């Protein structure tokens, strides 16, 4: 009987411990589902405000709300150019900052003729780093700047391992993606705070949501932009100044490979993206800027980091292989032609 009692006692204790672990797992599961529900609900509310409500409810003039002038960096191509045109279309004077004087002049003439706005051009190569900003600050000091679009960015064309990147390429990416956004904000923000109005728009990327092998430096710079934007948004709360982080997915720009044949709704043009994104000004502090990317962003953020890293590595290896193969074929064809 003693051995039977021992077995019964052991089974009783085992069942008790098993039940305790089951209760712990149940509580953890409920907490996780609660977090998931809150996160998805909040994302849905923000998405509705950004992509539905903003297009239904009439919004006041950007110039009247924020100021007469907008500053756009990296404005001669891609999203920067499209944003410039959209702001000018809404009657905002534009300060155009980029490194190519001829392209700056052409864009200035275009928006002046099409929309009857004032323009100012500043030639600047943000890879120069710190010495550049004193001159830019002097050029801007007398203007009523209501909008700053920190768009300028650098992305190497082929996915590369860190050891394959040149030292100059790394510093260019840091100086442009990190330095330009930070210092341009530092230049413009004090006057916005004094006037108690203004909005700063910072271009991040979906690549900032998880570490991205073969684009690690680029993704890290975009994560910096997103994090600093969220911090500044909170710092400026109640001052009349807003800071918005734009976190788009893939866009059909010259910076990205393999997008030219993509679905135009999933991979929108800079013009389509900018028309959507500009409607979110003053509505949300952090957004994908484009409704379909807004559906992808919260789902991507909820994936385990290790899985996202593995998928990102696989994806970029395939892109890398495709680009290198195409370049070799082109080189071979050129050699045969000669």
- Counted residue by residue, the chain has a size of 338
Could you tell me if residue 248 is left (phi over 0), alpha (psi between -120 and 50 degrees) or otherwise beta?
Answer: beta
Residue 216's alpha-carbon distances to 171, 182, 194, 245, in angstroms, are 14, 20, 38, 20
Spatial contact of 244 and 286, defined as CB atoms under 8 Å apart: yes
Alpha carbon distance 202, 237 (integer Å)? 17
Alpha carbon distance 170, 146 (integer Å)? 32
Spatial contact of 98 and 73, defined as CB atoms under 8 Å apart: yes
Q: Active site includes 227?
A: no
Spatial contact of 260 and 252, defined as CB atoms under 8 Å apart: yes
List, as own/partner pairs, every contact residues 270-277 make where C-beta atoms lie below 8 angstroms and the sequence separation is at least 24, other chains included: 270/78, 270/79, 270/81, 270/82, 271/82, 271/85, 273/79, 273/82, 273/248, 274/79, 274/82, 274/83, 274/85, 274/86, 275/82, 275/86, 276/51, 277/83, 277/246, 277/248
Spatial contact of 274 and 261, defined as CB atoms under 8 Å apart: no
Catalytic residue of the set 10, 218, 227, 250: 218
Q: What is the edge-to-edge ordering of all strands in the sheet holding 69-73?
A: 119-123, 93-98, 69-73, 145-150, 198-203, 241-246, 286-287
Spatial contact of 270 and 174, defined as CB atoms under 8 Å apart: no
DSSP string across 55-75: HHS----HHHHH-SEEEEES-
Q: Which residues are catalytic?
A: 218
């Amino acid at each position: 009987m003693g051995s039977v009692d021992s077995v019964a006692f052991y089974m009783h204790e085992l069942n008790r411990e098993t039940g305790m672990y089951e209760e712990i797992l149940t509580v953890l599961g409920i907490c996780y589902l609660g977090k998931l529900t809150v996160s998805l609900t909040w994302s849905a509310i923000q998405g509705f405000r950004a992509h539905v409500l903003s297009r239904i409810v009439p919004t006041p003039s950007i110039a009247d709300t924020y100021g007469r002038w907008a500053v756009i960096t990296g404005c001669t191509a891609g999203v920067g150019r499209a944003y410039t045109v959209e702001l000018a279309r809404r009657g905002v004077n534009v300060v155009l900052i980029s490194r190519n004087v001829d392209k700056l002049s052409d864009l200035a003439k275009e928006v002046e003729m099409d929309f009857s706005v004032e323009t100012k051009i500043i030639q600047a190569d943000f890879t120069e780093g710190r010495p550049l900003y004193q001159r830019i600050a002097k050029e801007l000091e007398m203007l009523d700047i209501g909008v700053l679009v920190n768009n300028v960015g650098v992305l190497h064309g082929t996915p590369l391992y860190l050891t394959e990147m040149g030292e100059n390429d790394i510093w260019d990416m840091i100086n442009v993606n990190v330095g330009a956004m930070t210092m341009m904000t530092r230049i413009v923000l004090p006057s916005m705070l004094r006037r108690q109005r203004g909005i700063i728009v910072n271009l991040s990327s979906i690549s900032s949501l998880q570490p991205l092998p073969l684009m690690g430096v680029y993704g890290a710079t975009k994560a910096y932009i997103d994090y600093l934007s969220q911090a500044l948004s909170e710092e400026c709360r109640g001052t009349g100044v807003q800071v918005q982080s734009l976190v788009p997915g893939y866009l059909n720009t010259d910076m990205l490979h393999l997008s030219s044949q993509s679905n135009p709704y999933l991979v929108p043009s800079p013009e389509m993206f900018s028309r959507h994104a500009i409607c979110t000004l003053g509505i949300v502090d952090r957004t994908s800027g484009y409704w379909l990317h807004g559906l992808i962003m919260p789902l991507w953020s909820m994936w385990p980091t290790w899985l996202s890293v593995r998928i990102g590595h696989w994806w970029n290896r395939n892109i890398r292989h495709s680009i290198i193969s195409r370049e070799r074929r082109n080189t071979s064809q050129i050699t045969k032609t000669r």
